A and B are shown apart, each in its own frame.
Chain A
Amino acid sequence: MNLSEVTSVGGFFSLVPLVVFLPVLGLLINMIFGGRMSEKAIGWTASLASGATFVVAVLLATSLAGHPEAVTIPFLDWINIGTLELPWAFRVDTLSVTMMLVVGGVGTLIHIYAIGYMHEDVRHHNDPSRYRRFFVFFNLFIAMMMILVSADNYLMLFVGWEGVGLCSYLLIGFWYDKGKDGIGNALAGKKAFITNRIGDFGFLIAAFLMFQYFGSFNFDVINEMAPAVAAAAPAAVMAMTMFMLLGVTGKSAQLPLFVWLPDAMAGPTPVSALIHAATMVTAGVYLVARSFALYSLVPAAQNWVAIVGGVTALLAATIAVGQFDIKKVLAYSTVSQLGFMVAAVGMGAFTAGMFHLVTHAFFKGLLFLSSGSVIQGMERGEHHVEHDPNLKRKMKQEHGAGHFDPQDMRTMGGLRKRMKITFWVYLIGSLALGGIFPLAGFWSKDEILLESMHLHPTVYVLLTIAAFFTAFYMTRQVVMVFFGEPKSEPAAHAQESPAVMTVPLLVLAGLSTLGGLLNLPYLHTFKEWLGHTLGEAEHAVEGAVEGLAEGAAHASTAWYDLGGLDLRVALFSTVLALLAIALGWWMYTRRMEELQSLPLAKRPDDPLRKILGPVFKVFENKYWLDEIYKALLLDRYVDVANFLAQKVDWDFWHDWFHDKVLAGGFRGLTWVLAKPFDLGIIDGIANGLATGMQGLAGQMRRLQTGFVRNYALAVFLGVVVILGYLVLRMI
């Protein structure tokens, strides 16, 4: 659709490029004038730029309400070669605008929160000059994410896809001179980028296949041609979707590439909330939803996606149980929840997956930001302790002289009394994540479970167990952080965060509570909304669901059917979650207290360690996946690279073959041929002509008996003669 058609459609569609350009404007202002601006001005400039994209997204949504069909806004040609036509073009449809709303909305709240958070963070790290840099990167991220979600073709999507990866790299390593050995954060950033690049390799191969079979990267063209291509070359579509899956596992942190996400927690907490929970990591889910036409055609690939999601969901949930860093628990929880979404879109339950993506952005954004509030509360407590000699001495006795870790949940406890707002919003976030009625997570997770029961029983089992673990580890975390007695002096003196941070928390808490309204049973507002874009795919799924439920008529009259909500599934998962909460509550209050009677040396830091024994060790050490990858892949690559560089390229090829064999042989030959002739006659003439090069000549002769110089001179003189001749001719 070209621009003239767009105007006939009316509405705000042609505003869509602004979602990219407004944050770019914001970052340019901060880059150019930020040096002379106050912290507040910088932070609010960035927040306004982000907020403006949200306004644009809202306007687009209102326009879509009246005209729900997709609109394409071409902007500029990009790569045009032969039959390849690749524009910068924006696509406005219900799917892309949903993502824009999430990115702009949650993004802006996190920007505002960061105004307060980074104010303290840069002081905590002793470098206030980086305040500006943070907001420049943050705006850049919004711009890149908007490119990703508003692209009308796979390659422009890829620009955003790698662009957000770059921002992730820069923000994980934001304190690039901190972390383990001063380099830990920088290494975490590098790990994220390279792991993602492995995924991007898959994306690229998928793109090559697309061009070969579709001759285009355009979503519409591919959707339209997909059935015909899938019929003619099913293997190609299978390969395409599977390589794309590799990209998804990178960006959305799924098996086998999820290992970068927990390390990514090295970034400041607003980064973890925005990039590594609410938006960027969901890009993989968005990609599969965007490619619904392809995936729907290859059930085998769908099966793989669903299995990858299901297994990741469970595996990461078990790891979360064994973590003590408050952010690591949330990170593995994110991996696990992304597994839910990936499983959903893999099964073809695109609406359910997208629904969970949205609610997860609310409650996981909330949880991360609250954890940031907790961490800074602890840091303020630590600061307080540092300035009180008595407390300082007391803390040294209790914790030793080592560095105090404000993120270790074992040092927390009792914070509900000192940080009231943070406690309540954290509780709401946890219950939403745990899937408790009527919070947002209940509705979206339940929809995924329901769909999986019909579409993929194996995945249903995996996800249900994962849901049990989810409720359990969140209870564990809430109890360890907020209940009981403070386990350290900083915890006892923790202080609540300022309003600029708590207000965004309250807004997100509201969204986490009410988010379920988006897609209530009977109404299915969200499903209808997305149906305009994912229409066909959803119908196919409905068909399957109905078929499995032994006919639509029968299903709708059953006692357990409440307009798309299956009471059996809902009840079962709710009971499981409540059980997990009860178990967690008992274990980390009662059982923990009982264990306190043990002598210090035998007292476990976690009751589960005693119950599960070696299994807990496996959870705590993340199944040793990092160690396995290092031993099997990373170290091997370093070995190969060193071997090639040192032994093959240098010792053998450079030193032996070239310097010994070739040069030595040549030298011997020239010595025999040239000594009597060359040194006697030619060298004499050359020396006369080139006295300026005397110093060189001495060295050169030693090496090559003057051969090069003579040749050079000959060529040089020849050219001079030729040029002279030429110039004369021309005149």
Chain B
Amino acid sequence: MDIDLTTLVTFLPLIGVLVLLFMKGEQKNAIRWVALLTSLVTFAVSIVLLVNFIAAGNGAISADIELETKVPWISLGGWQIYYHVGVDGLSILLVLLTTFLVPLCILSTWSAVEDRVKDFMIFFLLLETGMVGVFVALDLFLFYVFWEFTLVPMYFLIGIWGGPRRMYAAIKFFLYTMAGSILMLLAILWLGIQQQTFSVPELIAKGGIPENIQLWLFLAFAAAFAIKVPMWPLHSWLPDAHVEAPTAGSVILAGVLLKMGTYGFLRFNLSLFPEAAVRMAPWIAGLAVVGIIYGAAVSYAQQDVKKLVAYSSVSHLGFVMLGLFALNPQGVQGGILQMINHGLSTGALFLIVGMIYERRHTRDMDAFGGLWKVMPIYGLITLIVTLSSMGLPGLNGFVGEFSILLGAFGSEAIGSPWFAGLAALGVILAAVYMLKMFQKMFLGPVDKEENKVLKDINWREIITLVPLLIFIFWIGLYPKPFFALMAPAVEKLLAGLP
């Protein structure tokens, strides 16, 4: 049996699932350890994948798909569907982000999830396979299977372990995302029938789709992705899903699932429909800018911390979209980096909110105040993450946002510096809502009795957050290795544009 690395990373979590299936539900700690170890091994193998990807370029980073596997899978009538996976500069970082975040999420559930631990871990590992699958799939049909598959475990994670309105949120999440996917499925089928292949590289190589048809296909794909991102005004499922999901679910939702949307735009809309992408760029940029400002303003007005962070995603993902559709190196690379950054910073923020929720069972900002004094380590870490999220230079968020705005400002595709100029206002507004949150929760006197006895975060919680902090500083100070990984692939992608 010869299994390649990409496949291994994708399906390793399923081995953990298999082990878990044979365990008794009462062995909670053993279950947690099995899940954690599985995810750690997966992460380790994904590092091996990265090393191999770097080595595959023979001294330079490859612009192409590497570590590729293509096996005939389903034959239907005239056409062949392949199990076709591989990684390139566009996807490798997202694969790593996924395998990096999952162990941290599992660690965060150690004391937060006490109910049906086994089921929880099974769904979580299934979700990991689905997410990695989305990023490595190179056959449209396979991609679609993974894409839809991720909905199922996420649906249960929200629906079983979520907050009071979990069922409503889970169903809304499911239906909303699925509604968009159906249009994408139609477009995929159309492409398959018309072009006689589902293979993404082959479709790119073939090209030749007339521009007006491209436009329709672009919109059909965009429907699925824009909901996932979510782009304004299709974000209505997000606050519900985020607020109701358990902490680990929110982290993965914000950290990875939303990136499936932006990745979809990058991988499919930009490379399969280049003419349409150029034509649509100003429109997407416009929606992105509205999302940036709107998300920031709505964030500011929230009382619930988790909701504040949720809406901030609308703003942050607006930056990502603006960057991708700048269609120049600064914008696209900044956009990809910002996907990672958002995964790190917002992931950390959700973990942070989860930690205080576990202690106080409320997320109302007014219930806190002066926490820095009672929980100094927690306060310091939150401060760093807050600053990262609002794009303080020297931390990761700035590098992404700056590159994006720089790219968008001079973008020919977007066509006007006004978009970036308005988006830059989001930088001010981000400080406004993030600092409001920090002030309300951490500054001022400790005037509530319940807060006076709070214990600072423990070692397990520190270990959960520190890896994120390391990357927050690393990307902020020396993002070169990250940009280096994606640069050739982005260059190749942009070369395919008209």
Q: Which of A78, A207, A696 contacts B479 (CB 8 A)?
A: A78
- A residues within 8 A CB of B233? 653
A194→B410 contact, CB < 8 A: no
B328→A79 contact, CB < 8 A: no
- B residues within 8 A CB of A201? 424-425, 427-428
Question: A641 and B298 in contact (CB under 8 A), knowing A194-B432, A708-B175?
Answer: yes
Interface size on A, residues (CB 8 A): 73
B479→A641 contact, CB < 8 A: no
Q: Which of A81, A158, A209, A654 contacts B403 (CB 8 A)?
A: A81
Interface string of B71-100 (1 = CB under 8 A from A): 101100000000100000000000000000
Interface size on B, residues (CB 8 A): 76
Answer whether residue A562 sits at the interface, using C-beta atoms and an 8 A cutoff: no
Q: Which of A161, A637, A645, A712 contacts B302 (CB 8 A)?
A: A645
Answer whether residue B294 sits at the interface, using C-beta atoms and an 8 A cutoff: yes
Answer whether residue A387 sits at the interface, using C-beta atoms and an 8 A cutoff: no
Answer whether residue A100 sits at the interface, using C-beta atoms and an 8 A cutoff: no
Question: A208 and B417 in contact (CB under 8 A), knowing A78-B478, A644-B301?
Answer: yes
- A residues within 8 A CB of B487? 81
A316 to B483, CA, bound (A): 47
Could you say which of B32-40, B201-209, B215-223, B444-452 contacts chain A? Answer: B444-452
B297→A696 contact, CB < 8 A: no
> Quick one: closest B residue to A144, CB to CB?
B394
> Quick one: closest A residue to B307, CB to CB?
A645
Question: A82 and B330 in contact (CB under 8 A), knowing A176-B444, A644-B301, A696-B160?
Answer: yes
> Quick one: closest B residue to A163, CB to CB?
B394
Tell me which residues from 419 to 447 in chain B have a Cβ below 8 Å from any Cβ of chain A. Answer: 420-421, 424-425, 427-428, 431-432, 435-436, 439, 442-447
B302→A177 contact, CB < 8 A: no
A208→B145 contact, CB < 8 A: no
Answer whether residue B402 sits at the interface, using C-beta atoms and an 8 A cutoff: yes
> Quick one: closest B residue to A646, CB to CB?
B301
A283 to B295, CA, bound (A): 33
**Chain A proximity of B24: nearest CB distance (Å):** 16
**Chain A proximity of B301: nearest CB distance (Å):** 3
Answer whether residue A233 sits at the interface, using C-beta atoms and an 8 A cutoff: no
A197 to B429, CA, bound (A): 9
Of B73, B417, B424, most buried by chain A (CB within 10 Å of CB) is: B424
Question: A166 and B392 in contact (CB under 8 A), knowing A198-B428, A696-B159?
Answer: yes
- B residues within 8 A CB of A62? none
B483→A79 contact, CB < 8 A: yes
Interface string of B139-178 (1 = CB under 8 A from A): 0000001001101100100011000000110011011001
A76 to B480, CA, bound (A): 10
**Chain A proximity of B449: nearest CB distance (Å):** 16
Could you say which of A340-348, A370-378, A388-396, A697-705 contacts chain B? Answer: A697-705
B403→A79 contact, CB < 8 A: yes
A81→B330 contact, CB < 8 A: yes
**Chain B proximity of A646: nearest CB distance (Å):** 7
- B residues within 8 A CB of A169? 435
B171→A204 contact, CB < 8 A: no
Question: A182 and B1 in contact (CB under 8 A), knowing A641-B297, A712-B174?
Answer: no
A162→B393 contact, CB < 8 A: yes
- A residues within 8 A CB of B104? none
> Quick one: closest A residue to B240, CB to CB?
A654
Answer whether residue A500 sits at the interface, using C-beta atoms and an 8 A cutoff: no
- B residues within 8 A CB of A190? 435-436, 439
B483→A80 contact, CB < 8 A: yes
Q: Which of A76, A82, A204, A722 contacts B329 (CB 8 A)?
A: A82
A725 to B334, CA, bound (A): 40
Question: A204 and B370 in contact (CB under 8 A), knowing A173-B443, A194-B431, A708-B155?
Answer: no
- A residues within 8 A CB of B297? 637, 640-641, 644-645
Question: A704 and B478 in contact (CB under 8 A), knowing A201-B424, A641-B298, A644-B297?
Answer: no
A186 to B437, CA, bound (A): 12
Answer whether residue B362 sits at the interface, using C-beta atoms and an 8 A cutoff: no
Of B233, B420, B439, most buried by chain A (CB within 10 Å of CB) is: B439
Interface string of A189-216 (1 = CB under 8 A from B): 0100110011011001101110110000
Question: A79 and B152 in contact (CB under 8 A), knowing A177-B444, A645-B301?
Answer: no
Tell me which residues from 230 to 251 in chain B have a Cβ below 8 Å from any Cβ of chain A. Answer: 233, 236, 239-240
**Chain A proximity of B368: nearest CB distance (Å):** 12
Q: Which of A177, A197, A658, A731 contacts B431 (CB 8 A)?
A: A197
B167→A700 contact, CB < 8 A: yes
Interface string of B274-309 (1 = CB under 8 A from A): 000000000000000000001001101110000000
Answer whether residue B333 sits at the interface, using C-beta atoms and an 8 A cutoff: yes
Answer whether residue B28 sits at the interface, using C-beta atoms and an 8 A cutoff: no
> Quick one: closest B residue to A158, CB to CB?
B393
B301→A641 contact, CB < 8 A: yes
A159→B239 contact, CB < 8 A: no
**Chain B proximity of A484: nearest CB distance (Å):** 38
Q: Which of B333, B394, B410, B421 contacts A205 (CB 8 A)?
A: B421
> Quick one: closest A residue to B178, CB to CB?
A711
- B residues within 8 A CB of A715? 148-149, 151-152
Interface string of A104-143 (1 = CB under 8 A from B): 0000000000000000000000000000000000000000
Interface contacts beyond A159-B394, A166-B392, A730-B1: sample of 10 additional A-B pairs, CB < 8 Å, sorted by A: A82-B333, A83-B329, A177-B443, A201-B424, A637-B300, A637-B432, A645-B300, A666-B175, A719-B145, A726-B83
* Residues of B near any A CB (own CB < 8 A): 1, 3, 14, 71, 73-74, 83, 145, 148-149, 151-152, 155, 159-160, 167-168, 171-172, 174-175, 178, 233, 236, 239-240, 294, 297-298, 300-302, 311, 328-330, 333-334, 370, 372-373, 387, 392-394, 399, 402-403, 405-406, 409-410, 417, 420-421, 424-425, 427-428, 431-432, 435-436, 439, 442-447, 477-480, 483, 487
List the 5 closest A-B pairs by CB distance, nearest first: A82-B329, A645-B301, A186-B443, A182-B445, A208-B409
27 residue pairs A–B, Cβ–Cβ below 8 Å: A80-B480, A80-B483, A81-B329, A81-B330, A82-B328, A83-B329, A155-B402, A162-B393, A163-B393, A163-B394, A173-B443, A176-B372, A177-B446, A182-B447, A190-B435, A197-B427, A207-B406, A211-B406, A212-B410, A641-B301, A644-B298, A658-B236, A703-B167, A712-B174, A715-B148, A729-B71, A731-B1
* Residues of A near any B CB (own CB < 8 A): 76-84, 155, 158-159, 161-163, 166, 169, 173, 176-178, 182-183, 186-187, 190, 193-194, 197-198, 200-201, 204-205, 207-209, 211-212, 637-638, 640-642, 644-646, 649, 653-654, 657-658, 663, 666, 696, 699-700, 703-704, 708, 711-712, 715-716, 718-719, 722-723, 725-726, 729-731
